[in-house]
Amino acid sequence: MSRIITVGAAQLGPIAREATRSAVVARLIALIEQAARHGCDLVVFPELALTTFFPRWYLADQVEVDSFFERQMPGPETGALFDAARRLGVGFYLGYAELAEEGGRTRHFNTAILVDKRGEIVGKYRKIHLPGHAEHEPWRRFQHLEKRYFETGNLGFPVFRAFGGVLGMAICNDRRWPETYRVMGLQDVEMVLIGYNTPVHNPPAPEHDDLSQFHNQLVMQSGAYQNACWVVGVAKAGLEEGVEQIGNSIIVAPSGEIVGRCTTLGDELAIARCDLDLGLSYKRSVFDFARHREPQAYRMIVDRKGATPPP
């Protein structure tokens, strides 16, 4: 018996700094409506899908920083997205900047939620791997101040029973770290949803720029194969406020093969019928963790000699 989720990778083109939430939500609803016409069960939007990627600027005024955050989800301007999901019977992953009052203080997270076909939030994840820096670094062509504007996620890498399977979430830089997939792999995840905003140019390592597309695919294909799960990676793409961001949104099967891909740098839906049972042939052979992993043998042997690369 196959358990198929028809997934729409809903890539977004640039979002302008001044774009209103309602204008962006209208773009998201248009993609959900297109997905419904093609029989999708689930739509995956990018990281920080409601606003421009504001960590590219040093913003001294906390009021301006907080203007990019959502205090409620759904809120007055995002409720229409949940209504569309309910009306059309299509769930979604949404990345957004979360401002939460927790433990008596205001918290700021780079967050993603999983919403089911009834329009109910069934899962939340807060980004753990925050790239970039915390202080203004004027030498950069553009900033990457996620360490300034967000706290490290405090929810771990949970998995959620939804859409007939076991789904997990990650956000952008998380996809570059094998731990992200393995922590969920050890919880029997069958599909990992990932939104991203990735500039082509990485100021601290411009020599990597030409490999940005290759690295984007490499990390998600290996994460999928090594954990016998589907991986859906969705970009906010194009020239956004002067910064070129990669597209190349992809849907990766547990074999590591790319089975769906966006080919533009704008709002675009790539669709694939994802049979969750395809992961079983890997979970029951090559990546049968119970039979083949050796956690007792894995030890961190780090000494000064071994840890530092030769001069």
Residues 241, 243, 248, 253, Cα dihedral to 10°: -90
User: Taking CB under 6 A as the rule, does residue 221 contact ligand ING?
Assistant: no
Residues in binding contact with ligand ING, number by CB under 6 A: 9
Q: How many CB atoms lie within 10 A of CB 26?
A: 12
Binding segment toward ligand ING, per CB under 6 A, in 60-68, 69-77, 171-179, 260-268: 171-179
Q: Quickly list DSSP for 98-148.
A: EEEEETTEEEEEEEEEEE-TTS-EEEEEE-----S-SS--TTSSS---HHH
E-strand stretches of 156-235: 159-162, 165-171, 191-196, 230-235
Which x/- pattern, by CB under 6 A, does the window 173-192 give for ligand ING? Answer: x--x----------------
Q: Is 300 exposed, middle or buried (0-12, 13-18, 19+ CB in 10 A)?
A: exposed
The whole-angstrom separation of Cα 55 and Cα 57 is 5
**Minimum distance of ligand ING from residue 196's CB (angstroms):** 5
User: Taking CB under 6 A as the rule, does residue 197 contact ligand ING?
Assistant: yes
Select from 198, 227, 248, 249 the one that contacts ligand ING (CB under 6 A).
Answer: 198
- For ligand ING, the closer CB: 110 or 227: 110
Select from 196, 225, 282, 287 the one that contacts ligand ING (CB under 6 A).
Answer: 196
Q: Are 54 and 65 in contact (CB under 8 A)?
A: yes
**Minimum distance of ligand ING from residue 175's CB (angstroms):** 7
Kindly identify the residues of this chain, within the stretch 122-151, that bind ligand ING according to CB under 6 A: 131
Which x/- pattern, by CB under 6 A, does the window 89-128 give for ligand ING? Answer: ----------------------------------------
- Phi, psi (degrees; rounded to nearest 5) at 37: -65, -25
Q: What angle is formed at CA 224 by the lines to CA 288 and CA 40, rounded to 5 degrees?
A: 120
- Annotation says 147 is catalytic: no
Catalytic residue among 70, 98, 146, 172: 172
User: Taking CB under 6 A as the rule, does residue 172 contact ligand ING?
Assistant: yes
- Annotation says 124 is catalytic: no
User: Taking CB under 6 A as the rule, does residue 202 contact ligand ING?
Assistant: yes
**Minimum distance of ligand ING from residue 47's CB (angstroms):** 6
**Minimum distance of ligand ING from residue 283's CB (angstroms):** 28
157-177 burial, b if ≥16 CB within 10 A, otherwise e?
Answer: bbbbebbebbbbbbbbbbbbe
User: Taking CB under 6 A as the rule, does residue 56 contact ligand ING?
Assistant: no
Q: How many CB atoms lie within 10 A of CB 104?
A: 5
Closest CA to 251 of 13, 40, 33, 53: 40
User: Taking CB under 6 A as the rule, does residue 163 contact ligand ING?
Assistant: no
Catalytic residue among 40, 98, 127, 190: 127
**Minimum distance of ligand ING from residue 149's CB (angstroms):** 11
Catalytic residues: 47, 127, 172
Binding site for ligand ING (CB under 6 A): 131, 172-173, 176, 196-199, 202
